[in-house]
Copies of this chain bind each other. A is one copy, B any other.
Amino acid sequence: MRVEYINPFIRSLDHTFMTMLGCEGRRGQISIKSNSSPHYEISGIIGLSGRAIGTVVLNLSEGVALKAASHMLMCETTEINADVVDAVGELANVVAGAAKSELESYQLTASLPSVITGRHHEVRFPSNVTPICVPFDTKWGPLALEVGFGPIPATVGAV
């Protein structure tokens, strides 16, 4: 899978934040995720599989998570609770869902979202994957989109 796979995820994140949340994301410098990449308090993770296997991580600062959840729930939310976890999982799902439909030749299906909390957590990819990190800044605070696709399993044909 070529590195251009990142573009549908960027478009999807832009579109999701604008239409679902009324919040513009200003994109920063795209880079290969490294130890010095930013990481924030809460992450929504979606696994993708099909004619490629990958992972999408939506890593949100607490401010973005709380404001996004407040917007989605139409109710002010001030702490990371089960509703915020659901909202972050749903956001990751929507971002992954729109992107995978643009990548239809890969016949990707999405797993359940997992949501990671804990101020100093880090989501790490296997070392044979080169994940791309795309930072965004919003009026609510920063976030990062991380996407990595792995080598295609031997039982699955290349696209």
- Interface on A for B, CB 8 Å cutoff? 45-50, 53-55, 57, 82-83, 85-86, 89-90, 109-127, 129, 148-150
Contact = CB atoms under 8 A, between A and B. Distances in A.
Q: Copy number in this complex?
A: 2
Given A82-B127, A126-B85, A110 B49 contact: yes
Given A46-B47, A49-B111, A118-B120, A127 B54 contact: no
Between A45, A55, A109, A129, the greatest number of chain B beta carbons within 10 A of the residue's beta carbon is seen for A109
B114 A57 contact: yes
Contacts of A114: 45, 47, 55, 57, 114, 123-125
Contacts of A116: 116, 121-124
B45 A110 contact: no
A110 B57 contact: no
A119 B120 contact: yes
A100 B118 CA distance: 30
A109 B70 CA distance: 34
Nearest to A39: B118
A34 B150 CA distance: 32
Contact of A50 (B83, B109, B115, B123): B109
Given A117-B122, A120-B119, A110 B55 contact: no
A113 B85 contact: no
